[in-house]
Chain A
Amino acid sequence: QVQLVQSGAEVKKPGASVKFSCKASGYTFTSYYIHWVRQAPGQGLEWMGIINPLSGTTDLAQNFQGRVTMTRDTSTSTVYMELSSLRFEDTAVYYCATDPSNYYMLAWGKGTTVTVSS
């Protein structure tokens, strides 16, 4: 079955960077896109961007352009997302999700909590 295993919780200071990982299994890694979505405390879901694991091409939400980098390692079936210049408002749970069609998120990881605190 499709499974996504995400990296563990992080605590970071403002201005720092954080790098998330999302290891996929149960399907052909290069066949499904992967989205990143976050949820700040008390807020709704926010789409951050998508990566095509086959080509490595990415498409980012406008709010994150310039601060987010998405990469992949096909040898380990892992996708990475780095978020830089962290702000207090980046405190959130960050999810990765697979997408077989480019249009919906079929299976989700359990999320990684990031706390930005001075």
Chain B
Amino acid sequence: QSALTQPASVSGSPGQSITISCTGTSTDIGTYNFVSWYQHHPGKAPQLMIYDVSNRPSGVSNRFSGSKSGNTASLTISGLQAEDEADYYCCSYTSAEKRVFGTGTKVTVL
């Protein structure tokens, strides 16, 4: 199972919106609504930001939203803040009953 494809980096100015894409195949994202997104600050534990494509866990800012179209899922961060600077990973359930992470995206707040 190959990793899901994410852009290596995305940047934006404070207050702007950015979108991170996560492209898979018909054996993962394209078939299942079990896409999750994780924020990872280096040296800390990853944090769940979105689950089941578009659901936010309790405590996660509503500036974070998720969606899916075909084989591609997306994470949008609106009202970008300095604290959002981190690595972001998508993850999907697969037809082999496994999980696969994306390649990761470094978000930089300019």
Contacts and interface: CB of A to CB of B under 8 A. Distances in A.
Interface of A: 35, 37, 44-47, 50, 59, 61-62, 95, 97, 101, 103-111
B102 A44 contact: yes
B63 interface: no
Given A47-B91, A103-B36, A104-B36, 20 more contacts: A44-B89, A44-B101, A44-B103, A45-B38, A45-B46, A45-B91, A46-B101, A47-B101, A59-B97, A61-B98, A61-B99, A62-B98, A97-B46, A103-B51, A103-B52, A104-B48, A106-B48, A106-B57, A108-B45, A110-B45
Q: Which size bracket describes the interface of B in this complex?
A: 20 to 34
B98 A47 contact: yes
B89 A59 contact: no
Nearest to A96: B45
7 contacts: A37-B101, A47-B91, A104-B52, A104-B91, A106-B48, A106-B57, A108-B47
A104 B51 contact: yes
A57 to B, nearest CB: 11
Which interface residue of A50, A103, A106, A110 has the most chain B CB atoms within 10 A? A103
Contact of A50 (B36, B45, B89, B99): B99
A44 B6 CA distance: 11
